[in-house]
Amino acid sequence: MKSFFGAAAFVLAAILLWTGVARADGSGDPKAVKQEDGKYYDKDGNPTYNVKPDGTVDWYTYSGFIRYHSECHVCHGPDGLGSSYAPALADSLKTIGYTDFLSIVANGRKNVNTANENVMPAFGTSKNVMCVIDDIYVYLRARANNAVGRGRPEKHDDKPKSAAEAQDACFGTQ
């Protein structure tokens, strides 16, 4: 009977791997297949990062680093590595996808068990977060996939005009 369950578990694992359900990145393969005005997307249309062979990151990954460290690292630790207060988002993005990430940030989350009570406040009305949420996601996705290391990326692409316009419109600075 043990060998049957072992074989069944092996077959289930193989099916999950073959179908792409078990992935390191909750949003699937992070490879950029499309680019629009300096913003990169994976095959499923999720925002993703682009790191050139010389280490230059796209604008949105760089902006995500800046925005993450201004809004998120107080609880989630520098470089998405977590703290005693909140989990490592670089690890979380290995299991959750883009839409789940957006939902958690916008609506908050409460996890309660016998040892802990973790509360993520809702940031859905915070322009400082929601106007740049894709940037934060892209940066954390790059960290989750070890595409960028710790600390500020040394080189980055220039800010696209479309990014400046979108931020001005969202923040109401136009």
pLDDT band at 25 (very low <50, low <70, confident <90, very high): low
For range 67-87, the mean pLDDT:
79
- C-alpha–C-alpha distance, residues 142 and 62, integer Å: 10
pLDDT digits (tens, 9 = 90+) for 117-131: 777 778 888 898 899
- C-alpha–C-alpha distance, residues 164 and 106, integer Å: 22
Answer whether residue 11 is part of any domain.
no
For range 65-82, the mean pLDDT:
82
- Cβ neighbours for 97, distance < 8 A, ≥ 6 positions apart: 26, 27, 28, 46
Q: Give the range among 14-18, 126-130, 153-157 with minimum mean pLDDT.
A: 14-18
Answer whether residue 146 is part of any domain.
yes
Answer whether residue 1 is part of any domain.
no
Which CATH number is 127's domain given?
1.10.760
**Helix axis angle, 133-144 relative to 59-71, nearest 10°?**
100
Q: Quick one: the chain helix, strand, coil %, rounded to 5?
A: 45, 10, 45
Question: Structural domain tally of the chain?
Answer: 1
pLDDT at 107 over 50: yes
Please tell me the predicted confidence (pLDDT) of residue 24: 53
pLDDT digits (tens, 9 = 90+) for 35-55: 999 999 999 999 999 999 999
pLDDT at 21 over 50: no
Answer whether residue 3 is part of any domain.
no
Answer whether residue 10 is part of any domain.
no
Answer whether residue 4 is part of any domain.
no
Its pTM surpasses 0.85: no
User: Cβ of 36: how many Cβ atoms within 10 Å?
Assistant: 9
Please tell me the predicted confidence (pLDDT) of residue 36: 92
Structural domain boundaries, residue 148: 25-171
- C-alpha–C-alpha distance, residues 146 and 159, integer Å: 23
Answer whether residue 2 is part of any domain.
no
Answer whether residue 30 is part of any domain.
yes
